[in-house]
Amino acid sequence: MTASDPRVPGDSRVAKRALVALFGAGFATFAQLYAPQGVLTELAHEFRSDTGAVSWVIGAATLGVAVGVVPWARVSDRIGRVAAMRWSVLVALGIGLLVPFMPTLPALVAVRFFEGLALAGLPALAVTALAEIVTPAALGTAVGSYVAGTTIGGLAGRVISGLVGDAFGWGWGVAAVALCSVASAALFLALIPATRIPPGPPLPLGRAFLANLRNPGVRVLIAQGFLLMGGFVAVYNVLGFRLQEAPFGLSTAQVSWLFLAYLAGAVASRQVWAVIARAHRGRSRGPLAGLESPVRVQLGCIALMLLGLGLMLLPWLPAVVLGVVLFTGAFFGAHTIASGLIGRRADTGRSLAPSLYNLGYYIGSALLGGLGGLVFAHWGWVAAVALVAVSALTAAAAAVGHARSARR
């Protein structure tokens, strides 16, 4: 921290307090957001619906997040990042406690949309808030720590809802997650420090929006968020249905344990910037020679995602488990890199860039995630995996294309 820059280094007490607070908020947000994914098969049975229909319980919430990220960013320009995040968490908790009482699938989907709309404040603002608390040198690692917290929340939401839902029904499973989220949200409310840099006067929304979309580097990252997150959610939306079919025949509770693969995502999120630092010091060879180290590491993550998808095609449970672990860890590594790069590549309208990335990210989750459920329902697991593989390859091609054009 200096007189000219009041932000703190990553090893300071304030920075550590901010990361613990955002871990609590990330846990509360992502546990609620993805809790129904652990009980999708129970929901399909309860409401006598197919995979595609119940996938919209997840899709509606993520679509709500996509719709909400830009408005929350603008609200935060007026009232401050921390105040906006506090309102987001509190309103989302109130709506989340209503979810288990929805009597029909349309009512559940509608309430989940509004829950996502409220939850959008955290992913819209967390990275921007971190950038206004810690120094630029510490931001990459801080973002990785935040993403690790959201990963743990997503894991806990799925596992808790699956285990409790298998024993007592989907409503109790989702309610158990909501109660856990209350405790973690309290941690956030108690510990979050004030940002060190006040929000500047915002650009007009249209001008900031166009400035970012005219930036090729920002456009590529938004597209990657759409493609990678959409494919990731598609896999997790249908994996439970796949593993309850022959030759596996697992129960809902047994499938829930597979969400422990999210721990690989937590590790990858924390370590990926250290890998990038080592790649920066080393020499690149072959077709990736000359690409900046974050792009090379991200392409490696996407390659591991494809390897994980290939293993999940095998009719052997250990291979599927290994595939899920590889796919999950690699996805979170690629996502953490994109989250860290978006602020670096943006110039005019910088405060809006993370929200636009999240907009693409959650629209992908809603649309491609829902499409994955429809593809699985009509053409099976192999077709769903093919959809995800095409999405991942397209994201990789976009990264390479931008990197090569930027070098010219």
DSSP string, 306-363: HHHHHHHTSS-HHHHHHHHHHHHHHHHHHHHHHHHHHHHH-BTBGGGHHHHHHHHHHH
Residue 8 resides in a domain = no
pTM of the full structure: 0.81
Q: What is the per-residue pLDDT across 25-74, written as a single tens digit (0 to 9) for each? A: 888 888 999 999 889 889 999 998 887 888 899 989 988 988 998 899 88
Residue 51 resides in a domain = yes
Domain that holds residue 228: 13-407
Q: What is the per-residue pLDDT across 126-161, written as a single tens digit (0 to 9) for each? A: 878 888 888 877 877 787 778 888 888 888 998 899
Residue 6 resides in a domain = no
Residue listed under structure tokens 């940002």: 195
- Tokens read off for 221: 């990252």
Specify the CATH number for the domain of residue 273: 1.20.1250.20
Residue 136 resides in a domain = yes
Residue 95 resides in a domain = yes
Q: What percent of the chain has pLDDT over 70?
A: 94
DSSP string, 223-291: HHHHHHHHHHHHHHHHHHHHHTSTTT---HHHHHHGGGGHHHHHHHHHHHHHHHHHHHHSPP-GGGTTS
Average pLDDT, whole number, for the chain? 88
Residue listed under structure tokens 């921007």: 128
For residue 338, is pLDDT > 60?
Answer: yes
Residue 3 resides in a domain = no
Domains held by the chain: number: 1
Residue 287 resides in a domain = yes
- 184, 27 contact by CB (below 8 A): yes
Q: Which of 39, 181, 179 is nearest to 108 (CA)?
A: 39
Residue 47 resides in a domain = yes
Q: What is the per-residue pLDDT across 348-360, written as a single tens digit (0 to 9) for each? A: 776 678 888 988 9
